[in-house]
Structure 1
Amino acid sequence: MLKLANNKFYSGKTSALFSAEQAFQARQFHQKIEGYVPTPLVSLPALAQQLSVKAVLVKDESKRFGLNAFKVLGGSYALGRQLAKHLNVDIADIDLKTVSSKLEAPLTFATATAGNHGTGVAWAAREMGQNAVVYMPKGSAQASVDRIKGLGAECIVTDVNYDDTVRLANETAQANDWMLVQDTAWEGYEEIPTWISQGYMTMADEAIEQTAALEFGMPTHVVLQVGVGAMAGGVLGYLADKLGADTFDTIIAEPAAADCIYRSGTSAEGDMVNVSGDLNSIMAGLACGEPNPVTWPVLRDCSRYFVSVEDSVSANGMRILGNPLSDDPKIISGESGAITLGALRELHTQGLDEQVGLNAESVVLLFSTEGDTNPARYRRIVWEGEYAAS
């Protein structure tokens, strides 16, 4: 159910794109948004005891701006940076509620999404008085489509997989002179994906501030989920710069059906490796087959381990977080959010703790990046035991 590989390409080299200074700028922008509060960092002491570690800390992103997922951080920051560039002003001068008054007519932002990123772009566009067109891959959950439409965006479900949907969104945006807001990059399209990943650093900056207020010390281990690697690269880049790359070990986790980062990290030369096909996984937000070239260097240089997991591992993580031990607080975590806890538990179950350096002094930081964004499937998994371990 889980494959583990050491990262032979680790160098500890940090990136100027994803630094504590860049995170400060992104968080300043987010702090000006109405309703901004840091999401909770939850300690699970009973679970930590069962897993034989000092602490398990979970950043609960289901509380982010009422959108049930973290991705609005990247989408809103990228839209803010795009509008600042369009208006030739500093990002510090962009206010979501007033920026539309500086434009002759609303702009249209386009994106491809598995759900949460499109929700964030649609929400940010609405808050800024702009238009959004969102493309989703075949098989997308109707709940995600309805959520995006409910935010005032046009939502189009395609008949191709995620990576091909990205290409379609790009072609359509170019044909219509729309602004593409995509969280993966390719040659000639790096600036906006960089802004999106920088926006995600707000989440990490909050987490370190919150961890400092606790008695455990800084994280010794961080588990990060990846699709294209936009979030993981931004967060890991920040942590490496803020804490020092050699002060903690990072485990990168992704679904086996779309494990492009695992394959890249275990390749002969550390080159990006694409995964094709339908990429079917319950972890829709992570079902991406092509690494983000902007953030891949960070993952290659600063992570210690790569793991590829079956869907049942994430499903188990959802059940553990939703049905906690003893007095541990309950966390509602969706399929792409719970892979980190599922992977941590599976490492322990398979007796791989020592191999990744987990012990009684370990402080493990996890990011539950979404809540029950697909409520019907959440209940099937957590209530009815769908995707049980074989």
Structure 2
Amino acid sequence: MDQVFTQQAPGAQPPTVRPRLASIDYLRGIVMVVMALDHTRDYFSNARADLMNTATLLSQGDAALFLTRWITHFCAPVFVFLAGTSAYLACKRGKTRAQTAAFLATRGVWLVVLELTLVHFGWEFDFDFHFEVLQVIWAIGCSMIVLAGLVFLPLWAIAAFGLALICGHNLFDAVRPESLGPWGGLWTVLHRPGLIQPVPGVRAFVAYPLVPWIGVMATGYVFGQVMLLENALRRRWLLVLGSALTAAFVVLRATNLYGDPHPWTLQKDWLWTIFSFLNCEKYPPSLLYLLMTLGPALLLLALLEKETSPVSRVFVLFGRVPLFYYLLHLPLIHGLSLAVAVARYGPRALSFGEQGNSVPTDAGFALPVVYLIWLGIVLLLFPLCAWFADIKRRRRDPWLSYL
């Protein structure tokens, strides 16, 4: 018979069901709001640079745009890490390993389906699925499917597996998919961003290769143990772990020995040298990228433990309905951008970017306007998320755990 992870002595009382930890929802809510900034910039900014990697901005000298892009680097690692933590905490609330595994597997498949359908529609506003971009929801879904198998292992084994993927995957940065023949597509899925053709007539761009993200979720799952410690001890552990990861980033990055394919270099002044130092690879996330983001995130989590202001309750609410928020914010941002474009340029704006209808050079807005639009979008999302959070609070329908 399946048992909860910690064995109980004969005659012992069942473990007390622990309340949901607001600090986790608080941090998750913060990264969800920051994520909306990145996507608002995608659709409303007048910047013409390719911002898939902030290295582009180092050559252009736009500090504000660099920092706007860089701060959003925290979103995906924190969200994936906390997804693993939440899975562990759900198990400790009374689920068996088999129940946890079944939920992770089915929710993982569901997330992949959402990436290929509703998320695709939110980005593109079409149902032509001959070209897909596999991004963070796909990575979370696939990581959950893998974690569904890992939960049957001892926690030390899960930790070793996750850390091996995070710390070791940069050893294979030089391996190119084309050098692997028929296995090149699999290598693209696992390690190196690029195009694949899973079936004839369908192409996909793998923006989030899986190996490091699987490691992040696995270590997040083991980290769940820390979140079950007594409050004062938990805060000490968060401060120690966060400081250690951040210090490891600084030391490894300073040496340029290992952990990121792009060494930092001296720039025109001290500010841009710092930016070069911070400019770590996201696609896929390097070891240094993950240390740079997860270390400060754990320090922030320690600070959020005692935060109970009205502002905190807004972020906590967003953090309790993250997938609902995600599925809403993409079509909202995209739809508003189209409405603004049509208001400025007329119906031809609906076909900007197509052959013979290029985007006007004056399209988009400067960063201050982008920030105002972002705040407006967050305000529009709040009542909808509050409505759905109230439904989840009052009802226990199984389908609600999948949204």
> What range describes the TM-score normalised by the shorter chain of this pair?
under 0.3
More helix by share: 2
Q: Which has the larger radius of gyration?
A: 2
TM-score normalised according to structure 2 size: 0.25
More strand by share: 1
